């Protein structure tokens, strides 16, 4: 499962489908929960697993964990800056570093010395340093009877000011994170690493063995790992907190923990909000993914170089399409909605019995009414999702936003986020004109389909041409493929944007008023829903006590569970696969693509210990964004790396079950064995854990 790819697609599609991160589950079942590091379920762990983590254990695991800004998780695994993550988390960087002559994603890479390690172009890694509850400061900005649009702006301004004050005081990246749908606000401070270098990656055929056919399946045989190294002042960074290696861990029945950055869950959604997702939002998202998949497949058929250029995007779209299909199937089960409505009725009965809480019931009615407004907004796109269009949109918006005080800007343009934004916009990354032309044509066609050919915005965007011809004209004329050109345009400010003759800038300039209109209307709905879910959260705390965790927000969380197999289709599925099983899996599938192991594996077959554990499953609660998360033992040592979830886990966006749903990890013993005996990377294996 490309959990990081799913997270990146989720961000892009959130605006189109109005899918918003919400808040906590009303009760905790089995090993359910993506827990805050400052609010861990220590009593539950002690009761079920006879283990209560010490504060030093918690701090060590937190400080050893890493977030990739491209979408995914990782961990420090050496004192000299090595960072271990998934190959598919690294894929964005691998593709950007690759050329027609050196395809690092497909063929792999190994640096034998520090000097051979390749700097990533636009990668930022975040290490969480501290968490502070700032709920009171944020809520002070909201006055009674404020119109929703004004309340939204006041809240955003308060959050931006808190972040700026923190950045000025500490120098750390500072993000105010909305938790429990608006019930809590926490300030997360991160140390940023922007000098990040590629160290080792296996071939894609090893990392994604079995391809899309095996995606979300189990048993699996994937070496889905990659090593980077962080640098400071031109030298490998000195890391105080990193994970030791435990190749003997992750045995059947062992308690394990996942420390990572789950992207988004929606388990607090009311039954009415779930029905909106089931009947409207998710089907629309799937249609968008299917059309994008077809466009990318057709592009890839033009030749091997086109296949290479489009593979990363295609993989992300296919993975997300399969994931969303599983999510939709889960909430289409009538029993799920029935149980949710029954649970809500039980909450209502408890609330109505207490005069102090009875008024909270109205929050559910508010949320129901807001779903109708969301339906109205759904078919009014005013954004074009391609790489170059994304650059242009940010630069055009930034010119106007920079004329305002930081606290009044759209959130992504606040001062505290500027360094990360500029790295994204002005890093030299590969842009393929033919791919951009294909994707922009598809986006213009989608705009016309959604809004209608006679819509004024559509007529302006197409300028009397077909989507294909208009896209060709725009891509041929734009200069924004150059990082220097993007930087120079941004430096000219609002006058530069107004006077620009770049056709892509002109297009985004024409779209901007409608984009802002839709965004403002959507944000007003968001604020009303945020206030309603804050009351829902209050109700759930009142009914369920403090055993309530917030929904995922792409911030660091700790999940726990046991290494455990499961039953599927009448068969018992073991918790582990073995390294030698990869060759058997290849043989069973007649060595046909995508079940073809790289030549390096066959060359090393006789040297490998076939009984070394390779992949394993556990009941840990994960979701998109957890890719690359370290799996650690009671002792705080690394025993594996999350890379997938089985197909039964796909409804996890909306609910958790430990009956069959499992997270899938690469066992660290298999990683070390492969590094030493297949990839001649023993010098790196020797550094890990030291």
Domains of the chain as residue ranges with CATH: 3-124+194-267+551-687 (2.40.10.120), 303-311+345-540 (no CATH)
- Can you tell me which residue has the tokens 């590091």? 37
Share of the chain above pLDDT 90, in %: 89
Backbone angles phi, psi at 64, to 5 degrees: -85, -10
- Average pLDDT of the segment spanning 517-538: 93
Q: What 3-state class would DSSP assign to 97?
A: helix
Angle of helix 304-331 versus helix 282-300 axis, rounded to 10: 160
- Average pLDDT of the segment spanning 428-434: 95
Write the burial class of residue 373 (CB in 10 Å: 0-12 exposed, 13-18 middle, 19+ buried). Answer: middle
Rg (CA), the chain: 25
Dist. CA 58–CA 39, nearest whole Å: 11
Dist. CA 303–CA 135, nearest whole Å: 54
Dist. CA 598–CA 208, nearest whole Å: 11
The answer, yes or no, to whether residue 5 has pLDDT greater than 50, is no
Residue 126's CB is within 10 A of a number of other CB atoms, namely 24
Dist. CA 402–CA 106, nearest whole Å: 41
Summarize pLDDT for 19-30 with one digit per residue, the tens. Answer: 333 333 333 447
The answer, yes or no, to whether residue 512 has pLDDT greater than 90, is yes
- Average pLDDT of the segment spanning 504-532: 95
| Segment holding 459, helix H or strand E | helix 456-462
Summarize pLDDT for 624-647 with one digit per residue, the tens. Answer: 999 999 999 999 999 999 999 999
The answer, yes or no, to whether residue 3 has pLDDT greater than 60, is no
Share of the chain above pLDDT 70, in %: 95
Backbone angles phi, psi at 348, to 5 degrees: -60, -45
Backbone angles phi, psi at 215, to 5 degrees: -60, 130
Structure-token pair, residue 2: 């490309």
Dist. CA 567–CA 660, nearest whole Å: 7
| Segment holding 436, helix H or strand E | helix 433-451
Write the burial class of residue 353 (CB in 10 Å: 0-12 exposed, 13-18 middle, 19+ buried). Answer: exposed
| pLDDT at position 82 | 98
- Average pLDDT of the segment spanning 191-212: 97
The residue that leads in pLDDT, 224 or 658, is 224
The answer, yes or no, to whether residue 9 has pLDDT greater than 60, is no
3-state SS of 31-67 is CCCCEECCCCCHHHHHHHHCCCCCHHHHHHHHHHEEE
DSSP 592-652: -TTS---HHHHHHGGGS-TTSEEEEEE-----TT-TTPEEE-TTS-EEEEEEEE-GGGGGG
| pLDDT at position 546 | 62
Q: How many alpha carbons lie under 13 Å from residue 312 in its C-beta half-sphere?
A: 24
The answer, yes or no, to whether residue 448 has pLDDT greater than 50, is yes
Dist. CA 629–CA 601, nearest whole Å: 25
Dist. CA 288–CA 531, nearest whole Å: 30
CA dihedral 451, 457, 461, 464 (to 10 degrees): 90
| pLDDT at position 376 | 83
pLDDT tier at 403, thresholds 50, 70, 90: very high
Write the burial class of residue 145 (CB in 10 Å: 0-12 exposed, 13-18 middle, 19+ buried). Answer: exposed
Strands of 339-476 (E only): list them: none
Dist. CA 177–CA 183, nearest whole Å: 11
| pLDDT at position 429 | 93
Residue 444's CB is within 10 A of a number of other CB atoms, namely 25
Running DSSP on this structure, what letter comes out for residue 361?
G
First to last CA, the chain: 30
* Angle, alpha carbons 352-358-361 (nearest 5°): 95
Helices (H) then strands (E): counts for the chain: 26, 21
- Average pLDDT of the segment spanning 459-470: 97
| pLDDT at position 543 | 86
Kindly give, in sequence order, each residue whose CB lies less than 8 Å from that of residue 18, ignoring residues fewer than 6 positions away: 281, 374, 377, 378, 522, 525
Cis? peptide before 171, omega within 30° of 0: no
Q: Do the beta carbons of residue 554 and residue 7 sit within 8 Å? A: yes
| pLDDT at position 70 | 87
Dist. CA 312–CA 289, nearest whole Å: 14
Summarize pLDDT for 243-285 with one digit per residue, the tens. Answer: 999 999 999 999 999 999 999 999 999 999 999 999 999 999 9
> What are the angstrom distances between the C-alpha of 265 and each of 82, 112, 179, 624?
30, 41, 12, 9
| pLDDT at position 468 | 97
Write the burial class of residue 475 (CB in 10 Å: 0-12 exposed, 13-18 middle, 19+ buried). Answer: buried
- The answer to whether the pTM exceeds 0.85 is yes
| pLDDT at position 460 | 96
- Can you tell me which residue has the tokens 């919400």? 22
């Amino acid at each position: 499962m490309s959990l990081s790819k799913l997270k990146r697609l989720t961000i892009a599609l959130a605006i189109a489908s109005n899918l918003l991160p919400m808040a906590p589950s009303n009760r905790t079942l089995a090993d359910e929960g993506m827990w805050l590091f400052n609010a861990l379920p220590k009593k539950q762990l002690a009761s079920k697993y006879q283990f209560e983590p010490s504060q030093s254990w918690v701090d060590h695991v937190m400080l050893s964990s890493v977030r990739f800004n491209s979408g995914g998780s990782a961990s420090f695994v050496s004192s000299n800056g090595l960072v271990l993550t998934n190959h598919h988390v690294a894929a964005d960087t691998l593709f950007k570093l690759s050329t027609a002559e050196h395809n690092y994603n497909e063929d792999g890479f190994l640096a034998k010395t520090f000097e051979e390690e390749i700097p990533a172009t636009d990668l930022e890694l975040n290490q969480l340093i501290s968490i502070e509850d700032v709920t009171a400061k944020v809520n002070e900005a909201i006055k009674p009877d404020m119109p929703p649009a004004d309340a939204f702006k006041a809240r955003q301004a308060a959050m931006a000011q808190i972040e700026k004050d923190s950045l000025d005081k500490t120098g750390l990246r500072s993000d105010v994170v909305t938790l429990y749908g608006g019930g809590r606000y926490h300030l997360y401070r991160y140390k940023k690493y922007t000098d990040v270098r590629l160290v080792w990656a296996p071939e894609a055929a090893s990392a994604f063995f079995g391809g899309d056919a095996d995606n979300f399946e189990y048993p699996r045989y994937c070496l889905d790992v990659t090593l980077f190294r962080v640098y400071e002042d031109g030298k490998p960074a000195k890391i105080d907190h990193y994970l030791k290696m435990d190749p003997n861990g992750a045995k059947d029945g062992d308690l394990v923990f996942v420390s990572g950055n789950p992207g988004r869950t929606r388990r607090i959604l009311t039954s009415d909000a779930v029905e909106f997702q089931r009947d409207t939002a998710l089907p629309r998202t799937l249609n968008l993914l299917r059309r994008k998949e077809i466009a990318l497949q057709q592009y890839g058929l033009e030749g091997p170089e086109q296949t290479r250029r489009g593979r990363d995007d295609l993989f992300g779209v296919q993975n997300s399409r399969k994931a969303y299909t599983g999510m939709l199937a889960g909430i289409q089960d009538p029993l799920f909605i029935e149980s949710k409505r029954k649970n809500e009725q039980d909450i209502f009965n408890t609330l109505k019995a207490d005069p102090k809480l009875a008024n909270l019931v109205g929050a559910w009615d508010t949320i129901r009414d807001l779903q109708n407004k969301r339906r109205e907004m759904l078919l009014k796109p005013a954004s074009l999702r391609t790489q170059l269009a994304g650059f242009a949109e940010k630069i055009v918006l930034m010119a106007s936003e920079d004329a305002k005080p930081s606290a009044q800007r759209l959130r992504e343009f606040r001062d505290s986020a500027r360094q990360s934004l500029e790295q994204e916009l002005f890093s030299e990354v590969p842009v393929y004109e033919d791919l951009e032309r294909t994707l922009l044509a598809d986006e213009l066609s989608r705009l016309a389909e959604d809004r209608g050919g006679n819509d004024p915005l559509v007529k302006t965007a197409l300028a009397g041409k077909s989507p294909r011809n208009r896209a060709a004209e725009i891509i041929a004329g734009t200069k924004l493929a150059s990082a220097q050109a993007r930087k120079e345009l941004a430096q000219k400010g609002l006058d530069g944007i107004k006077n620009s003759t770049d056709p892509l800038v002109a297009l985004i300039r024409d779209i901007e008023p409608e984009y802002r209109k839709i965004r403002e209307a959507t944000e007003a709905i968001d604020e009303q829903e945020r206030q309603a879910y804050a009351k829902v959260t209050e109700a759930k705390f009142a009914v369920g006590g403090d055993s309530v965790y917030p929904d995922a927000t792409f911030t660091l969380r700790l999940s726990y569970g046991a290494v455990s197999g499961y039953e599927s289709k009448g068969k018992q599925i073991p918790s582990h696969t073995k390294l030698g099983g990869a060759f058997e899996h290849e043989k069973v599938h007649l060595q046909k693509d995508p079940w073809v192991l790289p030549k390096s594996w066959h060359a090393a077959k006789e040297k490998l210990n076939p009984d070394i554990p390779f992949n394993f499953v556990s009941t840990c609660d994960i979701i998109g964004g957890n890719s690359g998360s370290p799996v650690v033992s009671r002792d705080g040592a690394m025993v594996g790396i999350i890379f997938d979830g089985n197909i039964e886990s796909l409804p996890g966006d909306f609910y958790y079950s430990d009956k069959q749903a499992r997270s899938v990890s690469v066992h660290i013993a298999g990683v070390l064995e492969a590094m030493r005996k297949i990839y001649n990377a023993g010098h790196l294996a020797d550094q890990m854990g030291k």
